[in-house]
Structure 1
């Protein structure tokens, strides 16, 4: 059951999400107890807000459903790559292709422009139709940096059921939030109390 995100229902960013935008992106689909689900990219408006808050699109980008769907698709491919990395399994070829396709959309050079008043200058063009390509490329590049960098060994899934978020492990902590840690500890305590005596 999908619900409209509120400040109370959305957990704080998982450890590492401040360092890696791709981790924050992968965690934009949140499973909550009781079969509830929050998708921070669930509508074009929500997607535009998420991109704007992270500096990936202007507030007036006018994200349409097709763009939101492309972002959700990339998110699922990144989640697949993160899951493969955590489990030590080979990556799905489709996930690798999706990330490489997004990476190839990044502009490689700033173009030359000429201003009547100040003369020549270089700038990367960003017409409205390229906003999505730039966002996809930035997210894919950040994910590739995480998966190939020194923090890759710290990548893990939250250890609290039903949470589906990823985080960078710090020490022994393997929960994405205090809420998930409390829920996991309570579940362990309940299991100990209700375990039949041998």
Structure 2
């Protein structure tokens, strides 16, 4: 798939994404028509903007590629858990492990270390690492809440190809956006016109 610029991308949040930031994280890799792909976390600056918009990092956090990569990795593990839940399949063990690790990653205090020169001493994590660890823990916890809470039964995948986003169903609506709903209806209408005996 070819990657497209994310600055021009105006994809509205899927239903439920305002309530569950982890759902919005899962949907931050967007499959578009024509084989295009947009990654809203594709660069460190884009990842920093995404975290800032969700109240998980300051605008000037200075997210580096290592941190952005960790965020994208958590996204893929959450997507694997959402896909398994929607399909009624067992949760993948590696995805469970990754989400559990992220939930327990954020240290509550400066940790105790020892080295021959300084002896016992406490070291706080690098500020950017602390920000990211707390963000990953919050997103992983949010994913766990979504997957085990009252809304879990409303979780579904958008059925409009090539969309790859997840959403919470509201009534009869089961597309992630008006655009996907229009595309699905147009495809159905086109298919009906192409059948023999229809006009």
TM-score range, shorter chain: 0.7 to 0.9
Residues 41-95 of structure 1: CA deviation (Å, up to 9, x unaligned)? 0001100111111111111111111111111011000000000000000011000
> Aligned equivalents of 2:10 and 2:95: distance in 1?
27
**Structure 1 portions without partners, runs of 5+:** 110-124
C-alpha separation in 1, matches of 2:165 and 2:93: 22
**Paired residues of 2:26 and 2:79 also in contact (CA < 8 A):** yes
State the partner residue of 1:3: 4
- Over the residues paired in the alignment, what is the CA RMSD in angstroms? 1.8
Which residue matches 2:151? 151
User: How many angstroms does 1:31 deviate by?
Assistant: 0.4
Mapped to 2, the partners of 1:148 and 1:128 lie a distance apart of 30
Partners in 2 of 1:103 and 1:38 — Cα distance?
27
Pairing 1:103–2:103 present: yes
* Equivalent pairs, count: 183
| Number of the residue aligned with 2:32 | 32
Q: In structure 2, how many angstroms separate the alpha carbons of the residues matched to 1:16 and 1:154?
A: 9
2:178 is equivalent to residue 178 of structure 1: yes
Displacement of 1:18 after TM fit? 0.7
Aligned partner of 1:141 in structure 2 is 141
How far the C-alpha of 1:107 sits from its partner, in A, is 4.2
Question: In the alignment, does 2:64 pair up with 1:94?
Answer: no
- TM-score, structure 1 length as denominator? 0.88
SS of 1:38's equivalent? strand
SS of 2:3's equivalent in the other structure is coil
Contact conserved, 2:67 with 2:129, CA < 8 A, in 1?
Answer: no
TM-score, normalised to structure 2, is 0.87
Regions of 4+ moved over 6 Å: none
Could you tell me how far apart the structure 2 residues matched to 1:108 and 1:90 are? 32
Taking the TM superposition and a 5 Å limit, the aligned residue runs for 1:19-168 are 19-107=19-107, 127-168=127-168
How far apart in 2 are the matches of 1:58 and 1:126? Answer: 15
C-alpha displacement of 1:126: 8.6
Unaligned runs of 5+ in 2: 110-124
User: Is contact 2:106-2:130 (8 Å) kept?
Assistant: no
Deviation at 1:166, TM superposition (A): 0.4
